């Protein structure tokens, strides 16, 4: 994910808190930021939107990171467990498209808003 000329990356392995860092190519430096409030990111990873970073986490929640205050905030919780997810921007809105895990694969894809 990136905002302006800074890149942001999460690293770690399942079962541990994810480390979060930013990279400034103008100084070739990495800076440690507050850990992500989850043990892993969903397959969609994350997205930058309106100067904030958004990530869908292991607890089925969408989190927002404010790079000015360096604080993670839980913004929404998906009501069901999902799989095969992607996050994208369309018409200046974030979409999290996913398939519910409780139906057969052939009928999984649906539109869901929460």
The sheet carrying 61-66 orders its strands as 41-49, 52-57, 61-66, 71-77
Domain boundaries, the chain: 2-107
Average pLDDT, stretch 43-69?
Answer: 83
Global pTM reads 0.76
Question: Exposed/middle/buried for 45, CB within 10 Å: 0-12, 13-18, 19+?
Answer: middle
What is 2-107's CATH number? 2.120.10.80
Q: Which of 15-19, 51-55, 70-74, 97-101 is predicted least confidently?
A: 97-101
CA angle, 82 then 84 then 85, to 5°:
75
Is the torsion defined by CA of 40, 37, 90, 112 positive or negative?
positive
């Amino acid at each position: 994910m990136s905002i302006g000329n800074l890149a942001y990356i999460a690293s770690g392995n399942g079962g541990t808190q994810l480390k979060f860092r930013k990279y400034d190519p103008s100084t070739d430096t990495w800076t440690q930021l507050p850990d992500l409030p989850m043990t892993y990111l969903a397959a969609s990873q994350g997205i930058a939107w309106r100067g904030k970073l958004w990530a869908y986490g292991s607890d089925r929640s969408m989190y927002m990171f404010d790079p000015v205050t360096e604080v993670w905030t839980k913004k929404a919780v998906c009501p069901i467990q999902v799989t095969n997810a992607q996050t994208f921007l369309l018409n200046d809105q974030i979409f999290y498209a996913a398939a519910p895990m409780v139906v057969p694969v052939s009928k999984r894809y649906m539109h869901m808003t929460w």
